Structure 1
């Protein structure tokens, strides 16, 4: 009896793992996030968007985003200052 119960526990746990593993956690990245990850995070780790205010982000983008176009800078800035 105990062995049968143990068997069903393993089956239940296996099914839960299977169901959990099959769920896709899909979150589309915004254009700003894609640009940030492509242009900025190649030199440093991803920084929390709430770390700085708009003016501070603008200064950092101007200083380190020399290879970015003005449109790219604007898009990244809007991503970084958007409310969560």
Structure 2
């Protein structure tokens, strides 16, 4: 049995799909820049969001997405919405 060694480069198999998909780059970089801009907040705002997120058991990303998507600042009284966000987390192994 031969082992394949990897130099850390991209896979050479046909199964490899680049981050922007199989149909060309399109708007991939525009979306990436927009996402970065949405999550880049001034330091004080980012620290405040991170602290509030930690208090209610969410990540910074989850808390910020809730603000961006729904315009709501979650608190300890939003038990149902927080539980729903946690249910949609990817499974970690």
Same fold per superposition (TM over 0.5): no
- Name whichever structure is richer in helix by fraction: 1
Q: Say which structure, 1 or 2, has more relative contact order (CA 8 Å, 6+ apart).
A: 1
TM-score bracket for this pair, using the shorter chain length: under 0.3
Give the alignment's TM-score, normalised by structure 2: 0.26
Give the alignment's TM-score, normalised by structure 1: 0.28
Between Structure 1 and Structure 2, whose CA radius of gyration is higher? 1
